[in-house]
Amino acid sequence: MIECICNGKYKIPALAVDAIIREKEKIVLIKRGKEPFKGRWALPGGFVKEGEKTTQAISREVEEETNLKIEIKNLVGVYSDPNRDPRGHVVSVVYSSEIKEGGLEASSDAKETRLFSINELPTLAFDHKKIIDEYKKVTIK
């Protein structure tokens, strides 16, 4: 039996998911409505709930934040730098995906959502610039 050390709401490290949603040469970003990085652009995503698969979590988070249903394509990577999130140690599993249905509309804790050229991005929250840069190296030739 494995014992878990918990800090209340999330186990340390907390597990999160993020999505790179491609629409041709653009990607979907959300403007954060909450701290940390309130008002900055970020990849759609959030925390994995207990008993939830990461693929279920990313589908749920994307729909909650953007009103889009997605088709997951590939695992982009796992980002585990203990300093990537000012709230504490958060490990993020990042997936690439495409829009399956729905219209782009901000909801949940997203203040705004928009398509941006993958080569002309605003200042991003967390380590999302690094994630997108690494994604571009392997997918855009």
Catalytic residues: 112
Q: Which residues of 63-100 are buried (b: 16+ CB within 10 A; e: fewer)?
A: bebbbbebebeeebbebeeeebbeeeebbbbbbbbebe
| Centroid of chain to Cα 60 | 11
Give CA–CA dist 10/61, Å, rounded.
17
Residues facing 77 on adjacent strands = 94
Give CA–CA dist 39/50, Å, rounded.
28
Give CA–CA dist 141/134, Å, rounded.
12
Q: State the DSSP code for 124.
A: B
